[in-house]
Structure 1
Amino acid sequence: MGLFNRLRATAPTPATDSASAPATARLTGIWTIDPAHSSIAFVARHAMITKVRGTFEDFDGRLYLDGEHPGRSTADVTIKAASLNTRQEQRDQHLRSADFFHAEAHPELSFRSTSVQQLSADAYRLTGDLSIKGITLPVVLDLTHTGTATDPFGNERAGFEGSTTVDRTDWGLTWNSVLETGGVLVGEKVKLEFDVSAIRAA
């Protein structure tokens, strides 16, 4: 978490700004990610046969959304490496160690967007730089805008969800153990999943 598995030819043709502007203009503005109602998760194979799922519990982010010209939108997210949680403390300590995230020396992961494409009314392709353990590489995320709402406290919220798959070894997370039956203990492909509730800034 060769370069990772990019999402390719199945995507629809990007929408033009002029066609999408009326439906998305209301999104224009600055939004902050609400960690209490958002999730950043990861999934990897264990022993070649099952999946281990985890989340990062401590993160923050800021979005600038340009509803009339989506290509001008930006995203900036920072994640605390030590906040990872797979619900098994021994495994979590190993993931925080130098074998994986080396959280003591590299306390933060970050994502900074570099471009945005609108693919359809509610679908976007977000390209950006993902930094882990001092290594920065480009990633491509496909996101869906799941809607907007005003909560009981008067906050205007926008929802987004999406995912991508990366090869963890590209960022120096190379530890593994060979199984007697063949294969390895930890899968190299990791699926990143995002479920974001963002609040419009005052």
Structure 2
Amino acid sequence: MALTARVRTRDGWAVSHAVVTLTDARGAQVLRAEADGEGAVRDATVLSPGAYTVIVTAVGYAPAAASAIVTATGNAEVGAVTLARQGGEELPPPGPWTIDPAHSTVGAVAQHLGISSVRGRFTEFAGTVEIAPDDVARSRVDAVIRAGSIDTGNRMRDDHLRSDDFLAVETYPEITYRSHALTPAGPDRWTVHGELAMRGVVRPVDLDLSYLGTGADPWGGTRAAFRATTELRREDFAMNYNQIVQAGIAAIGTTLRVELDVQAVHGTGLPAA
């Protein structure tokens, strides 16, 4: 091999669509090679001994440059080249991710009597995240929630929330969310643009998403953690039920704050544990 290199993100993930260009001391291009699926570059072009400049580019990443010395044998080992995402934002490695319900929470907070909050969560849900390799903005999120799994810690209140006054779970057993775009909102923060279908109504809903990082799990997999929030107006989803108590105060607030704490496993399935 005349030239070898490894192209990685800051987290150590392979950049499979990277392109490596080698220029000589005069600035003339002498080699151009593409990384394979593991982010490795191996090119057998015979090179003259001397000093060269290595330029590494990939869609969605800031270019990186490094120096390389071609030895008398015609070989150059560049080693690992790290690419940073454009704008400094980082995301998990590309490909499919499966949301792990056992280590995730889908919750909502509603104001009660204008002075306190009632918290609830859905205990049955599933979803996938697809991180696009070439254009992060094309990444996708798809999630399905069983509406009847609402749990606020009070059986009477939960039965009322399942009724036609609120979620109408007999008629609309599922709540779904499907995204269609992703835009940066700051370091490690993104806005997810999508549509929420609930109680037979479909509305555009944006999620304020924070990426918390990735790491290995005890079952040999790789996990990514996210936190997302948004606010919903109940009336936008035909949930207009309320009671007016003394002094005109509504028993239930008009908005819901949705809070998502999500772990996702790299791949299309979950570990047995």
Return the offset for 1:24.
Answer: 3.9
Return the offset for 1:27.
Answer: 1.6
Match of 2:61 among 5, 14, 18: 18
Query: Deviations 1:76-129 (Å, cap 9, x if unpaired)?
Result: 000000000000000000000000000111000000001111233411100100
CA contact under 8 A between 2:92 and 2:213: conserved in structure 1? no
The secondary structure found in structure 1 opposite 2:203 is strand
CA contact under 8 A between 1:149 and 1:157: conserved in structure 2? yes
> Could you tell me how far apart the structure 2 residues matched to 1:17 and 1:57 are?
36
5 Å-filtered alignment, 1:3-14, equals: none
Which consecutive residues of structure 2, in runs of 5 or more, have no partner in the other structure?
1-58, 63-84, 269-273
5 Å-filtered alignment, 1:135-174, equals: 135-174=201-240
Which consecutive residues of structure 1, in runs of 5 or more, have no partner in the other structure?
1-15
5 Å-filtered alignment, 1:30-179, equals: 30-66=96-132, 68-179=134-245
Please give the root-mean-square deviation of Cα atoms over the aligned residues, in Å: 1.7
CA contact under 8 A between 2:108 and 2:120: conserved in structure 1? yes
Letter matched to residue 156 of structure 1? T
TM-score of the aligned structures, taking structure 2 as reference length: 0.65
Of structures 1 and 2, the one scoring higher in RCO (CA 8 A, sep 6+) is 1
> Could you tell me how far apart the structure 2 residues matched to 1:25 and 1:185 are?
41
CA contact under 8 A between 1:44 and 1:189: conserved in structure 2? yes
Identity percentage over the alignment? 36
- Equivalent pairs counted in the alignment come to 187
The secondary structure found in structure 2 opposite 1:62 is strand
TM-score of the aligned structures, taking structure 1 as reference length: 0.88
Return the offset for 1:17.
Answer: 3.0
Letter matched to residue 17 of structure 1? G
Name the structure with the higher strand share: 2
Name the structure with the higher helix share: 1
Instruction: Work out which of the two has the higher radius of gyration on C-alpha atoms and give 1 or 2.
Output: 2
Letter matched to residue 57 of structure 1? T
